[in-house]
Amino acid sequence: MSLVTKPGGRYRSVVDATEIIVVKAAKSPIDLRCGGHPVVAVGDEVPGDLTLDSSFATGTPLGKRFADPDSGLELLCTKAGEGSLSIGTTPLPLKDAKPLPSSD
């Protein structure tokens, strides 16, 4: 399922409590997943028969940013959960923090 993202878009996992918000949209439609299953927009109906895929169960911590340099996508986790974020089957890495300037 390809998803067209836009800044401010809010999505949630269908298998756990994870919720995310789009900080920077992807350049083209993507297959955004959490816990091994496609995410849905917050407020949309969630299928009840899905379970967390153990291959995508490292968790999504609250307040962390995730970014994919290839697609340009950047997400912020607004509610933590057990599932991990991915684009298709490729895990979505945490965004590196910007180094602070030295104070010599």
Residue listed under structure tokens 């878009």 = 9
In a domain, 5, yes or no: no
Burial class (CB in 10 A: 0-12, 13-18, 19+), 24: middle
Which of these, 67, 58, 73, 66, lies nearest to 16 by C-alpha position?
A: 58
In a domain, 96, yes or no: no
pLDDT digits (tens, 9 = 90+) for 22-51: 999 999 999 999 999 999 999 998 888 899
In a domain, 67, yes or no: yes
**pTM for this predicted structure:** 0.88
In a domain, 100, yes or no: no
In a domain, 65, yes or no: yes
Per-residue pLDDT band for 2 (boundaries 50, 70, 90) equals confident
- Tally the domains of the chain: 1
In a domain, 104, yes or no: no
49: left (phi over 0), alpha (psi -120 to 50) or beta: alpha
Kindly report the backbone phi and psi dihedral angles of residue 38, in degrees, each rounded to the nearest multiple of 5, phi listed first.
-60, 140
User: Residue 14: which domain range?
Assistant: 10-91
In a domain, 27, yes or no: yes
In a domain, 37, yes or no: yes
Kindly report the backbone phi and psi dihedral angles of residue 71, in degrees, each rounded to the nearest multiple of 5, phi listed first.
-95, -20
First to last CA, the chain: 51
